[in-house]
Structure 1
Amino acid sequence: MNLSSKLPSTRKVLFSAPHPFPSIPWTFNGFKLPSVKDCNEFFSTHSTNVPTYARYSLPTAPTDIKGVDPEVYSHMNRRQMAKQLPKLASNRFFNLIFFPESHHIASVRKSTIAYMFSNKGGTLFNDGDYARLFTTYKGTYKKDNYFSEKMLPMDSAIERQRFRRLVKNELYEAILKYTKNEDINIVAGVFCFRFGLVPVTEDDHLRVKLAIRKAVSSLFDRKLQEQLKVISKKHQNMAAQLLPNITVHNTMGEENVPGYYPKYPFLKK
């Protein structure tokens, strides 16, 4: 039946479908993967513009100082490594230890100069004297909810960010002040900060600055260098407990994407 004959004369089509309607032969030959043979002749999957922090070089800005794999924190605490390493600095604002590049923890750092920090701790109200008065109070209002709260500065995300930014900036300045290009191996590794009081005044900031500079300069002492090497070698048997648990890639297959560079550039395969 020609359906166009059913339309009003003003709407009749100018042509009709062929009859019988031709059939188109079709067969399924299966899916074929695209050929990637010799694709590396056209592009490389590895970046030729690797960021400064991922190279073995001094930082060019505080932002070139990156962190470590999150698994490092629990690994370090479980093995109580901080107690076995010499303190580069110890004051009311922070304690500082250093994992040299020969230590297995330094193998999962994201930059030549890396750092770690504590997100908790400190002193109530950021004042030792006031904290003692607060905790020893036995008066009428002792049962008030106010006295059951722990108001620590490091519980505030803003204070943590400010403190981290301060130590990162001062660490960067200290590295540049004392380190020549040929001495990178001395400061390459992970600086681990455990925060205490939060610096507030200009005098506090100056004390932090001087303490970090003194800590960095101490790494050039040969005796300390040898001590760190001995401890690193002693800890090497713990690497097997850390490395299987780290996250080497952010996404699956990222190493095949043009511009890729390793998340942990100093991790040996």
Structure 2
Amino acid sequence: MATPIALTIAGSDSSGGAGIQADLKTFTVLGVYGASVITAITAQNTRGVQDVLTLPPDIIAAQMTSVASDLAVGAIKTGMLADRVTVETVAEGLARFAGVPLVIDPVMVATSGDVLLAPEAIDAVRTRLFPLADIVTPNLREAASLLEAPVATSLGEMEAQARRILALGPKAVLVKGGHGEGVDATDILVSRDGLSRLTAPRIATRNTHGTGCTLAAAIAARLAQKATLETAVADAKSFVWKAIEGGKTLSVGAGDGPVDHLHAIRRQ
């Protein structure tokens, strides 16, 4: 039996809660072998992002070439891409992975509020990456930024924004409601085949660092295991909800702590 392999193309989080580190933890816990292409190195902790070094495009491209030439990647997710040159480099490198399911997490702002995608790169994400994507996973603020629109405040507005993003070329869009209000957190999944809503009770905790990365990584992991997109999204939402619930009692750092990627292992 072939080993399911997922590839993350993202930035490194020195505190371990988001980015490459969160993705690899998620892949591992879900039983998928994880490979990585690092796009940027951040000096980061639970309080914020102190510094960022974007890697040269040549080394980003070389990492993608190395993985493509040797590993049978079953799914890919992208995270922090930092700037336009990196977005274009990744878009070109994805040609080596034709037919591999692609999850685009349009990382723009960290949980702390620090900007992780240059404004001039947003158009490149829309035009170069979205047409390649099987699914795009923006949160409420990211969806608004992508569309240069106000942040959605209702499920109807979320659905409308999801459909506008769908028109940019991806096969499906998941607008995440975790940053909204109310007792429940509802995500809107829109595809060319229809609409569904995924709802879970909202959890009161500051430990939400890395939720977006973890969700996209979990979707990619399940796609690498040959799950359907709808199943992958539902399973990923369940995984993240349990990671947030399990992370309530974690004591990591003095700011917005991470979710508990290892919750399934801890239960065992």
TM-score category (smaller protein): under 0.3
Relative contact order (C-alpha < 8 Å, sep 6+): which is higher?
1
Work out which of the two has the higher radius of gyration on C-alpha atoms and give 1 or 2. Answer: 1
State the TM-score, normalizing by the size of structure 2. 0.27
Structure ranking higher in strand proportion:
2
Structure ranking higher in helix proportion:
1
